[in-house]
């Protein structure tokens, strides 16, 4: 289970650096975080090594942070484009 969380976290990190898709990394990061927590609980109850689960948790939390940052960037770009569109519309209406 720890290996699966590391894989999902790694894929989320890779997805977060793709332009316009980085915001969706937050959702796969949430899935990886849930898997990491489950793996951590299972390793704790079985007295097994928790290293992979902890690595998966750190990677998935990082991908959630990067995904959130990318989502905020997309919102800023959207509002800037909306402002530009309104300015163009206003300038055309004045003529």
**What's the distance, CA 50 to chain centroid?**
23
Q: How far apart are CA 46 and CA 24, in angstroms?
A: 34
Q: How far apart are CA 24 and CA 63, in angstroms?
A: 10
Question: Structure pTM?
Answer: 0.81
Backbone angles phi, psi at 83, to 5 degrees: -65, -40
Q: Give the start-to-end residue ranges of the domains of the chain.
A: 2-94
H helices of the chain, in order, are 2-16, 25-45, 51-94
Q: Give the model's pLDDT for residue 38.
A: 94
What average pLDDT does the segment 51-74 reach? 91
Residues 6 or more apart whose CB falls under 8 angstroms from that of 21 comprise 15
pLDDT confidence of 95, banded at 50, 70, 90?
low
């Amino acid at each position: 289970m720890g290996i699966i969380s590391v894989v999902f976290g790694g894929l989320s990190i890779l997805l977060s650096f793709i332009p316009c898709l980085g915001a969706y990394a937050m959702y796969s990061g949430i899935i990886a975080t849930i898997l990491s927590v489950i793996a951590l609980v299972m390793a704790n109850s079985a007295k097994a090594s928790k290293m992979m689960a902890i690595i998966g948790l750190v990677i998935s939390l990082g991908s959630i942070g990067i995904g959130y940052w990318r989502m905020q960037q997309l919102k800023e770009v959207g509002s800037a484009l909306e402002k530009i569109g309104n300015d163009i519309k206003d300038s055309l209406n004045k003529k």
